[in-house]
Amino acid sequence: MARGADLFVVCKNCGSEVSPYVTECPYCGHRVKKRAPKIERAATGAVREPRRARRGRATTTVRGPRLGRLRPGEIPGLRADGLGKPWVTMLLVAACFGVYLASVLKPTVADHLVIFGAIGHDWWRPFTAPFVHTGSGGISVFAGGALQLATMIGIGIYGWLLERRHGPLVVVVLYLLAGAGGMVVEAQLDPTPIALGANGLALGLLCAWAMPDLLAWRHDEDWDGDLLGTGVIAAVLLLLPLAVPHVSAVAGVTGAVAGLVVGYPLARLSAR
């Protein structure tokens, strides 16, 4: 029978009591264990007690620190507001779908949003171009749909994970640096650019989230994320400019670099 002290572990970052079978604190996202402990089985040859006897004894003989009083919406080890909705990520995904539908119904909408030539007085174009994922018609519309599917997977998955770990401000910063910043770099390097799509934003979120696992892999330590699957998604996003017209490779590389730059200090702070 487990001891009372084994019913929870204390997060070193925020001091919250969490379940011993989770590796990441649901309150602050800090990693509390590298691997979840295995459930110990009863010793071989031990006499098996009747179910009623074990249940009654467990309720009367357990000693040790007790969990604090639960608030509405909580369960032991997990807090409802610790798993709050990723509002910034949801808004980014909704904006991409909204612009896509508007562009399909009226193709001229995209002409006022994408990077088309020098930015000049159209200061809003770097901020709106990442939301555009459609072409002028025909097969380009299907290419735009494939582009949006790939970028929405990247933004939806890694934006949600990153916002849950570090909060919404990090996602906003990466939107400015990886999304809009990538478009600005493209406009500066190409005198006559035509650029659209959120491949840079998706790569920025992906790289920022993967940084702790990349550091653990480099130092030959254990990591919890799926680096193989993340690498496949990153490769698809990097190769999108070869398959879809007007998707900027420069914006994609800029977004990846911005994600690594933002993710490195966050990973170092979380490891302390």
Cβ–Cβ < 8 Å for 52, 36 = no
Same-domain status, 60 and 167: no
Residue 166 pLDDT > 60, yes or no? yes
Could you tell me which residues are beta bridge partners of residue 24?
31
Which H or E run includes 194? Answer: strand 194-195
What is the mean predicted confidence (pLDDT) over 175-185?
Answer: 94
> Cα–Cα distance between 237 and 248 in angstroms, integer?
11
The pLDDT-based confidence of 6 (bands split at 50, 70, 90) is low
Q: Provide CB contacts within 8 A for 60, sequence distance 6+.
A: none
Domain span holding position 17 = 1-83
> Position 95: which residue type?
A
Same-domain status, 252 and 165: yes
Residue 144: what pLDDT?
59
Residue 192: what pLDDT?
77
End of a domain among 83, 105, 137?
Answer: 83
Burial label for 171, CB within 10 Å (0-12, 13-18, 19+), is buried
Residue 34: what pLDDT?
63
Residue 111 pLDDT > 50, yes or no? yes
The pLDDT-based confidence of 92 (bands split at 50, 70, 90) is very high
Same-domain status, 105 and 214: yes
Residue 272: what pLDDT?
64
**Which of 1-5, 131-135, 259-263 comes out lowest in average pLDDT?**
1-5
What is the mean predicted confidence (pLDDT) over 157-175?
Answer: 94
Same-domain status, 77 and 110: no
What is the mean predicted confidence (pLDDT) over 14-29?
Answer: 79
Residue 64 pLDDT > 50, yes or no? no
Same-domain status, 146 and 249: yes
Same-domain status, 116 and 220: yes
Strands 115-116 and 194-195: antiparallel
Residue 40: what pLDDT?
58
Same-domain status, 139 and 250: yes
Same-domain status, 123 and 238: yes
pLDDT tens column, 140-154? 555 656 777 889 999
Residue 29: what pLDDT?
74
Same-domain status, 75 and 179: no
What's the structural domain count of the chain? Answer: 2
State which of 65-74, 116-125, 228-237, 241-250 shows the largest mean pLDDT.
228-237
Joined tokens for residue 219: 């130092």
pLDDT tens column, 192-226? 788 888 999 999 999 999 999 898 888 888 777 78
Residue 17 pLDDT > 50, yes or no? yes
Same-domain status, 196 and 254: yes
Write the DSSP symbol of residue 72.
T
Residue 174: what pLDDT?
96
Residue (of 92, 243, 245) closest to 179 by Cα position = 92
The pLDDT-based confidence of 138 (bands split at 50, 70, 90) is very low
Long-range CB contacts for residues 118-124, cutoff 8 Å, separation at least 24: 118/187, 118/191, 119/184, 119/187
What is the mean predicted confidence (pLDDT) over 163-176?
Answer: 94
CATH label of the domain that carries residue 236: 1.20.1540.10
End of a domain among 83, 114, 142?
Answer: 83
What is the mean predicted confidence (pLDDT) over 172-190?
Answer: 93
Same-domain status, 134 and 228: yes
Joined tokens for residue 138: 């025909």
Residue 158 pLDDT > 60, yes or no? yes
> Position 228: which residue type?
L
Residue 140: what pLDDT?
54
Average pLDDT over the chain reads: 77
End of a domain among 23, 58, 83?
Answer: 83
Residue 47 pLDDT > 70, yes or no? no
What is the mean predicted confidence (pLDDT) over 263-268?
Answer: 90
Same-domain status, 70 and 99: no
